[in-house]
Amino acid sequence: MRGSFSIITPTYQNPEELKTFLTSLENAIKPADFEILIMDDSLDNKNKKISESFQRKLPLKFFKFPKHLFISQKRNIGALKAKNEIIFFIDSDIQLDRNSISILWQTMKEYPEAALFGGKIIQDKKQFHPTRHDRLLPKGDIVYCEVIYSAYLSLYKSIFLKLGGYDEIFGNRGEGTDLSIRFWRAGFPIVRNLNSVVSHPSFKPQRKSPTKIAEMYRSLFLVGYKYGLDPQKNPHFIEMYQERKDAYGETCEYFAIYSAVSYLDWFVKNYHQICKSQKNAPGLYDFKPFDIFTDKKLLNDCLNQAKERITPFYHKAFN
């Protein structure tokens, strides 16, 4: 159906968070017809029961998987099942403001030269994303940005599938960073409208978990390998590492080493898939990780040609 959108929400063992999210979605302004796809791989049926309790209030479809999947896998499956060209990926621990979706939807309509859209994420009453390390390029009511993380974003299904969806080698962490890099390299700009605001619960207790930290560093290793990290050519990648140092202090170096040691066998086992991932990275524009705004000629070429490249998908979505 033209002018409609699909919301894809992966879940796992979090019925209370899911209930809060669905309640906020029920109360939010929906600018067009929509469907919501819950992609669940929980060990029990609590998320299913919560979803069923909202089916009279929301056009909700619940999909249950018999085995555990990475969040990137659940999003990819959801995209294939979605019936609409416009997709919102919204995590189940997000709480929407009343106007969150409507503002982002309107941004998509008003900026046909952009292909991937996000907003502002608040955590612990402070701005969580974009971070102070994210480079932003203001233009009118929006900002071009290098990276949008996957907790809350919208895009065109056809472009998403054209670029291969989420790279599942990243599993549960780093997949949004990788997707953002591929969008830019393929000539599809990314914007944020910071008036589209959502809230994300604090995960401070989890942040110091050695396993979580190791996953985070592994994602940096994968990004660096996939896109040919060079400290001379990628100065801003060092800033991303600095952000981790700010978070973990003197233990930063230890956790980087801990991650490499913890995942050594994993890297060996998955080496061929990692190489395949590297080979499939688009290269229309030679943007490197976190360095998109440092080459003005490449950026201008990309922005000048973007609208023409996106127009077929825009018309498919809105006409």
Q: Is the pLDDT score of 205 beyond 60?
A: no
Residue 1 pLDDT level (bands cut at 50, 70, 90): very low
pTM higher than 0.85: yes
On whether residue 301 sits in a domain, the answer given is: no
Asked whether residue 257 falls in the same domain as residue 123, the answer is no
Identify the residue with better confidence: 204 or 135: 135
Asked whether residue 212 falls in the same domain as residue 276, the answer is yes
For residue 180, what is the domain's CATH number? 3.90.550.10
pLDDT for 61-110, tens place per residue? 999 999 999 999 999 999 999 999 999 999 999 999 999 999 999 999 99
Instruction: List C-alpha distances in Å: 266 to 170, 173, 208.
Output: 12, 15, 22
Determine the structural domain holding residue 279 and report its residue range.
205-292
DSSP one-letter code for 42 = -
Note the pLDDT of residue 233: 75
Based on the number of CB atoms within 10 Å of its own CB, is 237 exposed (0-12), middle (13-18) or buried (19 or more)?
buried
- The amino acid at residue 278 is Q
Asked whether residue 164 falls in the same domain as residue 34, the answer is yes
Asked whether residue 314 falls in the same domain as residue 288, the answer is no
Asked whether residue 113 falls in the same domain as residue 229, the answer is no
Q: Is the pLDDT score of 2 beyond 80?
A: no
The residues, ordered by sequence, that sit 6+ positions from 161 with a Cβ below 8 Å of its Cβ are 79, 80
**Bond prior to 130 in cis (omega within 30° of 0):** yes
Q: Is the pLDDT score of 157 beyond 80?
A: yes
Asked whether residue 153 falls in the same domain as residue 12, the answer is yes
Q: Which of 29-43, 134-148, 224-238 has the lowest mean pLDDT?
A: 224-238
Q: Is the pLDDT score of 161 beyond 60?
A: yes
Question: Structural domain tally of the chain?
Answer: 2
Residue 208 pLDDT level (bands cut at 50, 70, 90): low
On whether residue 71 sits in a domain, the answer given is: yes
Asked whether residue 211 falls in the same domain as residue 199, the answer is no
The mean per-residue pLDDT over the stretch 267-289 comes to 90
The mean per-residue pLDDT over the stretch 227-243 comes to 77
On whether residue 248 sits in a domain, the answer given is: yes
